[in-house]
Structure formats: C-alpha cells, structure tokens
Amino acid sequence: MKRGRRIWLVLLGCGVIGLIAALIGWRDHGPDYRGRSNAIIGFAPEAMGKESQPGREISMGLPPSPGASIVVAPDGVILKDGKAWRGIGINYFSAFNRLIESGDDTSSFSGLDVLAKHKIPFIRFACCGFWPNEWSLYRTNKVEYFRRMDRFVAEARKRNIGLIPSLFWYDGCIPDVVGEPRNQWGNPKSKTIAFMRQYVNEVVGRYLHEPAIWAWELGNEYSLGADLPNAAEHRPPVDHDLGTAAARSAEDDLTHEMVVTACAEFARAVRALDSTRPITTGHSLPRRAAEHLRREKTWTQDSPEEFERNLLDVTPLPCDLISVHLYPFDKERFNAKDTPYTQTMRYCMEAARRGGKALFVGEFGAPDSQKDGGPEAARKNILEMIAALESTGVPLAALWNFDLTGQDSSLNVAADHPQNWVLDELQHANERLQRQH
C-alpha cells in the first residue's frame, strides 16, 4: 500500500474514531486541521454538525446525450428511461482508486458483485487520484490510465450498476498538480480551471454514449472550506512525498464566490459536451452558519430561509442536481438540538423545487462506534434517514460508504462487516420506491 493511501485512510479513521469529542462545537468555532482532512474524503465533521483553453459556453443546440440513463425534468423530478424514478445507491469511494494504484487490483469488482446481489442501482465514486502524485499515471500514460477506467466502467455496466463519478474529489489536489494556490479555483483563466476542462473533455467525451454513467460530479464538499474566519488553520496539508505544494499561504483560502465559480466552470465544461446528464457539485449540507460566515465571518446560525438561499447559490447553473450530505450531527441546526431529518430534507426539497433542480443526498450514514452510541444508535439513525428520504420525496441518495477499510470501526459497510444489514435495508427501500413508480 502506497504512503498516500495509508495517510488518507489514517486521516479518515482518526477523524471518526478519535476526534469527534475534540470537534464538538466545530461549526461554532471552526474545524481543526484533522477535521478538515477527514472532510475531504467523506463523513466530514461538518456533516456531523459540530461545527490551456478558454471555457466553453453552454450549448443549447446539442441533441440529447444518447447514453444518458437519468435526466432531470424541469420540475426537478428524476427521469429514468423516460419515467419518474427514485432510488438509493451507495458510495464506493475507492473502487477506481485501486486500479489507479495497481492495474492488477480487481478487488473492487468483487465488491460490485455484492452490490449487484443487493440490487444497489448506482455508486458514487472518486474518478481520479486523491493526492497530486496519484495523478502521475494520467499525466504520463493516458492510454493505460483510460484502459483501466474503461475496464472499471465495463465491469459496472455488466452488473447493471450506474456510476456517478466525482472527477476532482479533493479541492486541494488539482491546484497542487498545476503549481497554483487553491484560490485559483475561482479564476476562470487559471491553470487549475484549464486542467479541469481538459480532464472533463477527455472523460465526459469518452463516455458520452456510455449508459452506465448516470451523472457528473465536481468533487467532495468544496463549500465546507469557504469563508472560514480561521482559514489559516485549515489550509491543505504539506507533504512532499504526496506531491503537494511546499508551503501554504492566504492564497490557499477559499471563499463562497470561488467555490461558485469552480462549480459553474465545471458545469459549463460538462454541458458543452453532454446536454442531458445531471450535473452536481458534491457539496455537503451548508454549514449551520454558512450565510453568516459569507457575510460577516461569524458563527451565528442561519435561518431556514438563509439555508435554502445558500443551497441554491452554491449550485449555480447549469448544475441541475443539488448535492447535500446528511449525518446524525446535522440535527443540530436552525438553533435547535434535535432537528428531525425529515425537516432538513423538506427544506432541501423546497429549495430544489424553487430552483427547478433535483436533489441528491450524495452521502448519508451513521457511525457505529461506541463513542457514538454503538451499533444500535447507528441502526436507529440510518433507518430514520432512510424513512426521511422516502417520505420527503428525495429522488436520489447514496449511503456512505462501501468497503473502505479505514472506516472499519465506524462507517464501513461490506459483505463481512457488522453493518452489512444496511445493504438489505437499502434493497428493501429500493423495492418500496420502485413500487411507487
């Protein structure tokens, strides 16, 4: 196992298991460094509720993408094969990463077999390297890189599993790859944006006719790094062996406007090629204080109206699929200690309706560690979340996460893991949802 993978697994596991107590009040006082590192992979402490070439324009004249499996209707309904459709998939973060690291690592294919057995309709996954050095194969041998990607896509298609690829998972990575600070996500003329467009052109163009591809996503939770009053404490890590920049500065800090620019430029690049498939940002729920942070750098909690406004603002056109992530600690928002999941989902659905977009709960789940109440508390929370997704009409959602060993003691779901009961529950939920349509 390469050092890069060991580090991100350790960061992820440590954040969930050992740091939750230290992150209490995270949204009020800002995340610590390790919390942010955890957020770049999944199950962010934020979600826990403690606080080159010029850009292409949208081409409205493109015919519908012939390979598209799902589309967003004008009223925000997800259509599959022309009919209203709802479903719950799962995150399989490392499914393609393994092939980037080793072309002989086919372990994710057996994982796809497990998911197919439980009739999981789709997966969300990192369609990229995580650290800068994990982009070396793409940069030095694109033929081999795309041979491995083609194989992965074909294996998913054989099992009738849809794919939602997240093309630039970690917001600190591509700026490091091209030698720029992270704030260049907000500059349409930057090398960062140019690299993004290049990769989009290659990946989206390659799979335009591929029915296994369901939607396109920018990355994971970029908006959580925006407008932090203590941003200097939460800049991307520095590690020469991983290919990162040698130093960080205020130019690595993000603002709301920068994140919006990144999302819009990504969506324009995708839509210039693919006129049909949904485009999403990969964001989590807005911070409890997102609008106050944006305006005045304070941790004053937002109202439901401010929450909905932020949710729409960080999903700029032509993005048509709003992304949020849901975890147990998200109950602590709107100045309440126990906001029901159903209420938060209703706010999200209302924002989506007003914006003419669909809603994608790109991550949801609950840790089963003793610190978090153990397996019974996890079961209770996950079942409540599934019920909330069903009752509020959320069209698309994905559990976090399948077969990620770094989270074995908290959020991992696998065939031989104590939380494998969740796969049965997802299958039952999908059966109920399909009966409704």
Question: pLDDT (tens digit, 9 = 90+) per residue, 186-227?
Answer: 999 999 999 999 999 999 999 999 999 999 999 999 999 999
pLDDT of res. 167: 99
Q: What is the pLDDT of residue 147?
A: 98
Burial class from Cβ neighbours inside 10 Å (0-12, 13-18, 19+) for residue 262 reads buried
Query: pLDDT tens, 356-374?
Result: 999 999 999 999 989 999 9
The pLDDT tens digits of the residues spanning 375-390 come to: 999 999 999 999 999 9
Residue 38: per-residue pLDDT:
40
Question: Which of helix, strand or coil describes residue 324?
Answer: strand
Residue 58 reports pLDDT greater than 50: no
Find the mean pLDDT for residues 285-293. 98
User: For the chain, what is the mean pLDDT?
Assistant: 88
Residue bearing tokens 């997800």: 78
Q: Please state, for a pLDDT cut of 70, what percent of the chain lies above it.
A: 84
Residues of the chain with pLDDT > 90, as a percent, come to: 80
Question: In one letter, which amino acid is 359?
Answer: L
The pLDDT of residue 66: 65
Residue 3 pLDDT greater than 70, yes or no: no
Q: In the chain, what are the domains?
A: 3-436 (3.20.20.80)
Is 50 exceeded by the pLDDT of residue 25? no
130-184 pLDDT per residue, tens: 999 999 999 999 999 999 999 999 999 999 999 999 999 999 999 999 999 999 9
- Cα–Cα dist 301/310, whole Å: 13
- Asked whether the predicted pLDDT for residue 306 surpasses 60, the reply is yes
What is residue 74's predicted lDDT score, i.e. its pLDDT?
A: 92
Rounded distance between C-alpha atoms, residue 431 and residue 97, angstroms? 30
Q: How far apart are CA 232 and CA 252, in angstroms?
A: 9
pLDDT at 407: 86
Which range, of 33-47, 261-275, 360-374, averages the lowest pLDDT? 33-47
Tell me what the mean pLDDT of segment 98-110 comes to.
97
Q: Are strands 122-126 and 87-91 parallel, antiparallel or unpaired?
A: parallel
What the block records as the tokens of 160 is 């009738």
| Contact yes or no for 204/270 (Cβ under 8 A) | yes
Contact 169, 130 (CB under 8 A): yes
What mean pLDDT do residues 2-27 have? 35
Side-chain-facing half-sphere of 298: CA atoms under 13 Å:
6
3 state DSSP class of 167: coil
Decide: 242 and 136 in contact? Cβ < 8 Å. Answer: no
Which has more pLDDT, 85 or 64? 85
397: its two tokens: 């959602």
Q: What is the mean pLDDT of residues 333-349?
A: 96
pLDDT at 316: 98
- Whether 83 shows a pLDDT value over 60: the answer reads yes
Residue tagged 């978090």 (tokens): 372
State the Cα–Cα distance between residues 367 and 407, nearest whole angstrom.
Answer: 9
| Residue 64 contacts residue 276 (beta carbons within 8 Å) | yes
Q: Which of 400, 167, 165, 384 is nearest to 284 (CA)?
A: 400
Sign, CA torsion 371/376/382/385? negative
Q: Which residue has the higher pLDDT, 108 or 42?
A: 108
**163, β-bridge pairs:** 123, 213
Provide CB contacts within 8 A for 416, sequence distance 6+.
none
Q: Please tell me the predicted confidence (pLDDT) of residue 65.
A: 63
Round to whole Å and give the CA distance between 93 and 365.
14
Contact 86, 394 (CB under 8 A): yes
Instruction: Report the distance separating Cα 150 and Cα 314, nearest Å.
Output: 32
| Per-residue model confidence (pLDDT) at position 19 | 31
User: What is the average per-residue pLDDT within 61-85?
Assistant: 84
Q: CA separation (Å) from 206 to 98, 103, 135, 173, 402?
A: 21, 20, 18, 23, 27
DSSP H or E stretch at residue 304: helix 304-313
